[in-house]
């Protein structure tokens, strides 16, 4: 019995969690998800990128850790250990929340930099699950959630360089990805956020690959028309930034100019009704590759990296936890991360901030499976 070639391709694609068709023009809100296979936490907290082998941090590597913040002290809060990622990972750079679960997508792992990993964490059961992988693996993929679906944009195909222009949307009910309109220009390490039914993709780094220069591009994706438009560029082109939304305004915080040797404390806010940018109070600890989430009506920034590769004493992995009040335009500090990391997967769910994986040393040489959660609550 023969199978028509198109039907055969469709069967293979379905088995890989890929849709050959574009999503319906109108995205529907989903409040459920397909059953996913559970996966065990990694027994190894760290692994080297070279060879993907387990690794123990050396004293010199542990010396890269930084904890002290110059910001005024706020409520201390506390950190607790959570189930480790299934494998040590980093350079997914960001994560997103959907239906009360943490989704960590793409990045470095098991000796490669072009992984399509899609791990899902359920805080109710402190358990990890495997979901459909990205159709094309990459690192530093920008992800965000809108109307019950996850959107993934761009990324790098080589180690922190060679940008991609692919874009996908994930349906949790079908546990499948569909390809959508590609980015107008390829880039990785950009930041994505949803606002008023559209997705803003801001900053990042682009081609030519040997230069890997930061960009200030500000492009907007409309899921209803599956099309892109342009907005005013970010002042001060940079990548590896933090991004958050508050009262219809987009905040871009920190990041780097081309490389972590040139981290910045810049804090810009985008006023969508005027298509313009304004400055706000700077990040107390300049850094890039940090997590940024909205928790209890404040922005919490954690982790990050900075310095010069192969320069002992000038390499830093940040553990600082600093929060910003968008009403008073002021920062304060809290209990630092027990395990400083950069390029983490961080989201807020309920009364906790979950911070999973990330780079344990400056650069991408060591991945982590460490997963820790922060809360301001005193209740266990």
What is the Cα–Cα distance from 154 to 144, expressed in whole angstroms? 12
Question: Using the 8-state DSSP alphabet, how is residue 83 labeled?
Answer: P
Q: Which residue in this structure is represented by tokens 């990785």?
A: 188
Would you say residue 40 lies in a domain? yes
Would you say residue 5 lies in a domain? no
Q: Which residue in this structure is represented by tokens 């700077």?
A: 282
What is the Cα–Cα distance from 378 to 359, expressed in whole angstroms? 29
Would you say residue 359 lies in a domain? yes
- Count Cα neighbours of 266 within 13 Å in the Cβ-side half-sphere: 20
Contact 106, 137 (CB under 8 A): yes
Would you say residue 30 lies in a domain? no
Question: Using the 8-state DSSP alphabet, how is residue 354 labeled?
Answer: E
Report the candidate in 236, 208, 207, 239 with the shortest Cα–Cα distance to residue 140: 239
Would you say residue 123 lies in a domain? yes
Mean pLDDT by 10 residues, the chain (380 residues): 35 40 38 89 98 96 97 98 98 92 98 97 98 97 98 97 98 98 98 98 96 97 98 97 97 97 98 98 98 98 96 95 98 98 98 98 97 90
pLDDT of residue 380: 59
Provide the domain limits for residue 357. 35-375
Report the candidate in 287, 192, 190 with the shortest Cα–Cα distance to residue 239: 190
| Chain centroid offset of residue 128 CA | 17
Count up the domains in the chain and report the number: 1
CATH of the domain at 118: 2.120.10.80
Residues composing the chain: 380
Would you say residue 111 lies in a domain? yes
Helix (H, G, I), strand (E, B) or coil at 8: helix
Q: Is 40 exposed, middle or buried (0-12, 13-18, 19+ CB in 10 A)?
A: exposed
Mind giving me the DSSP string for 63-75? TTEE----SPB--
Would you say residue 160 lies in a domain? yes
Would you say residue 23 lies in a domain? no
List the strands of the sheet with 242-246, edge to edge: 242-246, 249-253, 267-271, 276-279
What is the Cα–Cα distance from 339 to 333, expressed in whole angstroms? 17
pLDDT of residue 22: 42
pLDDT of residue 33: 87
| Chain centroid offset of residue 376 CA | 23
Q: How far is CA 173 from CA 10, 35, 47, 245, 380, in A?
A: 19, 9, 33, 26, 33
């Amino acid at each position: 019995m023969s199978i028509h070639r198109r039907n055969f391709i469709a069967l293979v694609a379905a088995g890989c969690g890929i849709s050959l068709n574009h999503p319906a023009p109108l995205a529907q809100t989903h409040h459920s998800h397909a059953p996913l296979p559970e996966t065990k936490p990694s027994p190894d907290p760290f692994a080297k990128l070279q060879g993907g082998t387990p690794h123990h941090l050396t004293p010199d590597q542990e010396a890269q850790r930084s904890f002290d913040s110059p910001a005024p002290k706020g409520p201390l809060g506390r950190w607790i250990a959570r189930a480790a990622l299934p494998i040590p990972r980093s350079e997914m750079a960001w994560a997103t929340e959907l239906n009360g679960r943490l989704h960590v997508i793409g990045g470095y792992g098991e000796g490669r930099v072009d992984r399509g990993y899609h791990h899902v964490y359920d805080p109710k059961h402190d358990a990890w699950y495997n979901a459909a992988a990205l159709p094309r693996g990459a690192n530093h993929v920008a992800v965000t959630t809108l109307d019950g679906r996850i959107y993934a944009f761009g990324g790098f195909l080589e180690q922190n360089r060679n940008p991609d222009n692919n874009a996908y949307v994930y349906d949790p009910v079908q546990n499948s990805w569909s390809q959508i309109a590609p980015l107008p220009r390829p880039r990785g390490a950009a930041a994505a956020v949803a606002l008023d039914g559209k997705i803003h993709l801001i900053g990042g780094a682009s081609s030519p690959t040997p230069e890997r220069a930061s960009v200030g591009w500000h492009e907007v994706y409309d899921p209803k028309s599956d099309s892109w438009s342009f907005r005013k560029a970010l002042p001060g082109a940079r990548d590896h930034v933090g991004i958050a939304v508050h009262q219809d305004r987009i905040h871009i915080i920190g990041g780097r100019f081309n490389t972590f040797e040139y981290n910045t404390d810049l804090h810009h806010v985008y006023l969508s009704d005027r298509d313009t940018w304004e400055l706000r109070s700077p990040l107390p600890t300049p850094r890039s590759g940090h997590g940024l989430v909205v928790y209890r009506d404040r922005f919490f920034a954690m982790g990050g990296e900075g310095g010069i590769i192969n320069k002992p004493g000038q390499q830093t992995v940040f553990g600082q936890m600093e929060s910003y009040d968008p009403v008073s335009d002021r920062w304060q500090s809290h209990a630092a991360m027990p395990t400083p990391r950069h390029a983490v997967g961080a989201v807020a769910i309920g009364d906790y901030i979950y911070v999973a994986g990330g780079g344990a040393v400056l650069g991408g040489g060591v991945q982590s499976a460490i997963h820790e959660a922060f809360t301001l609550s005193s209740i266990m």
